[in-house]
A and B are shown apart, each in its own frame.
Chain A
Amino acid sequence: MSVISSLVPARFLTIIAHLVIVITIFWTREYNVKACLPLEFTQEQYNSEDLKLVVALSVTLGLFAIELAGFFSGVSMFNGSQGLLSTGAHASGSVALVFFLFEQWDCAVYWWILAFCSALPALMEILLLIAVFGLSKKPL
């Protein structure tokens, strides 16, 4: 099906774009951490906010690993609904994270972006993995 054959590379490219931006934020999170803090802050406050953002970014990378594992093992590669959901979620996540980076948004916003744009596709992926490997349904 030609629809499926263009959905697979589109899904892959949006996942990689989201991943690239997350890795970029990992290395330049200083400005975003400073945006969470009051104008005068102590080093401990900075460290605790920095740690929270690092935890959020690491959770994102873990969710990426789950989704890429499901994608490359073939479980959800040709599943149209999961492909569409994943493409939409990661594309909007990439745009939101670009704003997060350039506009130096608050750290709390990142958790919302994580919930809608990383956790949602990863949750569907886990359901599909359980369905295929646990309940032995066909992947499509």
Chain B
Amino acid sequence: MDLPDTIRRRLEDFSRNVFVDQSQSPTKERHTSSTHDRRVLASLPLQMSLFFNIWFFPLWWISAIVMLHLKYSALPDYYKFILMTILILMTVIEAIRLYLGYVGNLREKVAELAGFWLLSILLQLPQILFQLCNEAILVQPLERAIHIVLALFILTQAVAGFVALRDLVRHTESQFHLRQFD
């Protein structure tokens, strides 16, 4: 399963704009590229975090569904709708995000890794913080525990993903910097 071309190009442009310092001189890049081209760029902390997150995700999902079912009747109507939506969104986004991160890190692909990082920072982090910190949705002790674990995973992936993405983009830029002279 591959990302569509338009999304891939947009993500690569975004990565280049955010992670590469355009004011660097070309001679410095040529020197670093020869010493770095045999280094493995897949990030170990990120891969470990993703691996354990994949194993943790089914347990989180079952616990979240059971707790929502148990407290459903005690919630006001608008929170019923909001929590159902958030649960469905988090499930779908988590599955996509973990696949993109796993493939992007292992095969050192910029577009997949950037997509994973953006999904984690922009979508999953606000949703998990909403579920953890909003007392009005009757946060239960079990929910507190599983959301704390998932929030720690997302935070470590945000940090490790940033470092991995920056190194990967800089490496691919130094490999292909001659392209800008075409």
A residues lining the B interface (CB < 8 Å): 9, 12-13, 16-17, 19-21, 23-24, 26-28, 72
Contacts and interface: CB of A to CB of B under 8 A. Distances in A.
A24 B142 contact: yes
A20 B52 contact: no
Contact of A16 (B48, B51, B149): B149
A89 B89 CA distance: 36
Contact of B52 (A9, A17, A26, A28): A9
B144 A27 contact: yes
Nearest to A21: B145
A135 B103 CA distance: 38
Classify the interface of chain B: helix, strand, loop or mixed: helix
Given A16-B149, A72-B48, A23 B144 contact: yes
B146 interface: yes
Range for the number of chain B residues in contact with chain A: 10 to 19
Contacts of A9: 51-52, 55
Contacts, number: 34
Nearest to B63: A20
Contacts of B55: 9, 12-13
The CB with the most chain B CB atoms within 10 A, among A9, A12, A13, A20, is that of: A20
A13 B148 contact: no
Contacts of B51: 9
Interface of B: 48, 51-52, 55-56, 59, 63, 141-142, 144-146, 148-149
A26 B145 CA distance: 10
A67 to B, nearest CB: 14
A19 B63 CA distance: 14
Contacts of B146: 20
A19 B52 contact: no
Given A12-B55, A13-B55, A23-B144, 11 more contacts: A9-B52, A9-B55, A12-B52, A13-B59, A16-B56, A16-B149, A19-B149, A20-B145, A20-B146, A20-B149, A26-B141
Nearest to A26: B141
25 contacts: A9-B52, A9-B55, A12-B55, A12-B56, A13-B55, A13-B56, A13-B59, A16-B56, A16-B59, A16-B149, A17-B59, A19-B145, A20-B63, A20-B142, A20-B145, A20-B149, A21-B145, A23-B141, A23-B145, A24-B141, A24-B142, A27-B141, A27-B144, A28-B141, A72-B48
